Structure 1
Amino acid sequence: MTRVVVVGAGIGGLVAAVALRRVGIDVEVYERSPEPRVEGTGLSIMSNAVAALRGHGVELALEDRGRAIESFHLNTFDGRPIRAVPVRSIGDRLGAPSVCVHRADLQQALLEAAGDCPIAVGAVATGFTADGDGVRVDFADGRVARGDVLIGADGFHSAVRGQLVGPETPRDAGYACWLATIPFAHKALPAGHVAHYWGRGSRFGLVDIGHGRAYWWGTRNNTTWDGTKEQVLRACDGWADEVRAAVEATPVEAIVGLAARDRPFLRTWGDGPVTLLGDAAHPMLTSLGQGAGMAVEDGVVLARCLAGATDPRQALRRYEDERRARTRRMVRTSRALSRFEQAERPWARLVRDAAFRWMPEPLLHRQNASAMTFPATTGTRST
């Protein structure tokens, strides 16, 4: 039986573990944190990721844990409508909803689905050595893991990626992000609603994630967070009432501030018995809301490729080949959309708003459906 070592117990690592166990593969997961991470703010699991999980026999009851998207609106900074995005109708056609959920709730669902899968915590990977028998992984506290395959699912600062490709410089997108999840109710945020607000070099989002909670996020060009709520309030001065109300209702300690960054896309994700998955392979900006979704798809395709494989190394290369074009497109589209939406000059903002307001409905539908459709895979063949 193939034995897989997964480094990282985030969304991608846990999905990989759950999916691999569904096809009878032995898995061990190693997480650097003292406990599997059950923190963070909100995120979206779009129809493509829900379909990928269901098609692999993984049901996480996400609609009970979060809230399916019922309506999605793009607005000006002060709340005037620009365009409705047909997220629900696309999901209805695909037979899978898009769900907004707290990261901790998704993480808990995956931990439950993982069952008795061994998950070692406080395990900081320091390096790996591949040989004819598989791969050895070393950890800072002296622990050693051996397997036929190593999956680097250890996120943006992946130690596995670092050994595979060497030192890298992240790409800075030029703006700061603020994120928070709070108990919140407002007449402008009905059940299942997602609203994005566009201003001058700045955006905000307000999302119902169910159970009386809202997830909000904001961005601002050429800014680094100073750690105060006053900076965020200044950034949304004059914005829609619901945006300011959400920020005002948020304790400063609940706000996560970070720089928007991704990395250049890798042409090669692995070598021998080693490969990468999720943010370790293809970190992307958040404009498409598909970072978690791509990690979910990766985990399912990886499991299908390894299922019954007589040569795990060839199966890893097939997984990489199947995922490369789609994830490259997502990374590039996310960066391009981010640049477009963060427009600052008056003429650029006019073009941005007009482009979405007057985009033909079939084109809008086609662009969103492309991202929200889990592609057919050929990973069920054995090698």
Structure 2
Amino acid sequence: MDDHPFLIAGGGIGGLAAALGLARHGRPVRLFEQAQTFEEVGAGLQMSPNGVRALKALGAWDAVEPSCVIPSEIHVRDGLSGALLQRIRLGKTFEERFGAPYRVCHRADLLAGLVTAARRNFAIELNTARRATGAEEAADHVRLAFADGASARGAGVIAADGIRSALRAGVAGDVKATPRGVILYRGLMALQRVPPEIEADCVTLWLCPGAHVVHYPVSNWRNFNVVVAIEGSLPDEGWKTPAHSGEVPRRLPGVCEELSLLLAAPASWMRWPGADLPALPQWSKGRVALLGDAAHATLPFLAQGAVMALEDAVVLSREVAQTADLPAALRSYEGLRRPRTARVQDQSRGMSRIYHAQGVVALARNLALRLAGPSHALGRLEWIYRWTPESAG
């Protein structure tokens, strides 16, 4: 394999993770982000044990951990009655079971940690205000084109440019994101604004007819993240669309008092349509490969979107290091990651049917949650949480 740098399109979580992974295996990297700065305006995220292991393998955990929060428990509650349906403790027993901790953080804090780690590595060159538009392959290199007419030459291109990827068509054809009939809202507020009725040190999931709510503290206990998913549709106007005043509480009538107070607390909400990607015909073509949301964007209902991108970066960089033939290495990465990410996508879609159940179905769901207990719930997540950097995919 030649010594030309790898070129990465996209400076989000997946792109920065890929840069770190490749650099740790001795490959120089040039990363190009279209925005003026490295920033993340999305919601919070749950860093499950597999994500912690991926960050450690990428050499970024020490930069990310200080901004994470250690929640005490995960609670599942009925949004109408407020009843506690299930409690999962996240202390020593959990960590012993999965070999790594469970944390929560804000996407901006994760991104900042990845940027910090990347800037410490002299093999990584970070560029902003450079929008990649396409990749053209030659026999022994690939050229990445930019909107300003310039281009860069490299050994390979990693397209980590998100669900609206500009480079995906050159690899997999014209595949668009698929709306999944849900509107997502995010609210962020200072921890002091959280109503006292809310257990702010927990990750809490509220199940409502046609909707669900998730909340937890982020940014080392400074802020509180609330995400609401409600059945419906919206035009795709990106992540930065403000919701109308009072829109979220109005769309969730009849919820219990505690939840109602919480939904009224954020000063503002942002909204976007929930969407994911259908199965692509391929993720790699020659010296170009897709990574993260560009390859397998998923609904957030298993809290694995960002973590899957981190895992992608670990596996891709490992395969590149182990296989001299770059196109073969990228095909191997694709073959290893496809089954796992497809399963996450499929189960994430299915979770909305469980979370949003109504009437008799909701009553049966609540009873099942009470009877099953936390051990059963964690058992269903074993296949996700037990992933390691040495895993097959």
1:363 shift after superposition = 3.2
Kept after mapping to 1: 8 A contact 2:19/2:29: yes
Amino acid at match of 2:161: D
**Please, which of 203, 215, 218 is the counterpart of residue 206 of structure 1?**
215
Amino acid at match of 1:40: G
With 279-288 and 38-47 compared, the bigger mean Cα shift is at 38-47
1:111 shift after superposition = 0.5
Shift of the 227–189 alpha-carbon distance from structure 1 to 2, 3 Å rule, reads: closer
* Aligned twin of 1:29: 31
Does residue 222 of the first structure (1) align with residue 224 of the second (2)?
no
1:13 shift after superposition = 0.5
Shift of the 237–341 alpha-carbon distance from structure 1 to 2, 3 Å rule, reads: same
Kept after mapping to 1: 8 A contact 2:60/2:114: no
Amino acid at match of 2:211: S
Kept after mapping to 2: 8 A contact 1:170/1:262: yes
1:86 shift after superposition = 5.1
**Please, which of 260, 274, 291 is the counterpart of residue 277 of structure 1?**
291
Query: What SS does the corresponding residue of 1:155 show, helix, strand or coil?
Result: coil
1:39 shift after superposition = 2.5
Amino acid at match of 2:213: F
TM-score normalised per structure 1: 0.91
Shift of the 61–3 alpha-carbon distance from structure 1 to 2, 3 Å rule, reads: closer
**Please, which of 195, 200, 205 is the counterpart of residue 196 of structure 1?**
205
Shift of the 363–379 alpha-carbon distance from structure 1 to 2, 3 Å rule, reads: closer
**Please, which of 85, 90, 109 is the counterpart of residue 82 of structure 1?**
85
Shift of the 178–191 alpha-carbon distance from structure 1 to 2, 3 Å rule, reads: closer
With 276-285 and 1-10 compared, the bigger mean Cα shift is at 1-10
Kept after mapping to 2: 8 A contact 1:90/1:365: no
How far apart, in 2, do the equivalents of 1:8 and 1:97 lie? 28
How far apart, in 1, do the equivalents of 2:260 and 2:4 lie? 53
Amino acid at match of 2:214: G
With 182-191 and 326-335 compared, the bigger mean Cα shift is at 182-191
How far apart, in 2, do the equivalents of 1:362 and 1:72 lie? 13
Does residue 164 of the first structure (1) align with residue 177 of the second (2)?
no
Does residue 288 of the first structure (1) align with residue 302 of the second (2)?
yes
Unaligned runs of 5+ residues in structure 2 are: 235-240
Query: What SS does the corresponding residue of 1:68 show, helix, strand or coil?
Result: coil
Unaligned runs of 5+ residues in structure 1 are: none
* Aligned twin of 1:113: 117
Does residue 104 of the first structure (1) align with residue 108 of the second (2)?
yes
Shift of the 362–233 alpha-carbon distance from structure 1 to 2, 3 Å rule, reads: closer
Amino acid at match of 2:226: W
Aligned-CA RMSD value:
2.2
> 1:57-68 to 2 correspondence within 5 Å?
57-68=59-70
TM-score normalised per structure 2: 0.89
**Please, which of 230, 236, 254 is the counterpart of residue 252 of structure 2?**
236
With 145-154 and 237-246 compared, the bigger mean Cα shift is at 237-246
Amino acid at match of 2:209: R
Query: What SS does the corresponding residue of 2:345 show, helix, strand or coil?
Result: helix
Kept after mapping to 1: 8 A contact 2:156/2:287: yes
**Please, which of 7, 10, 17 is the counterpart of residue 9 of structure 2?**
7
How far apart, in 1, do the equivalents of 2:391 and 2:73 lie? 34
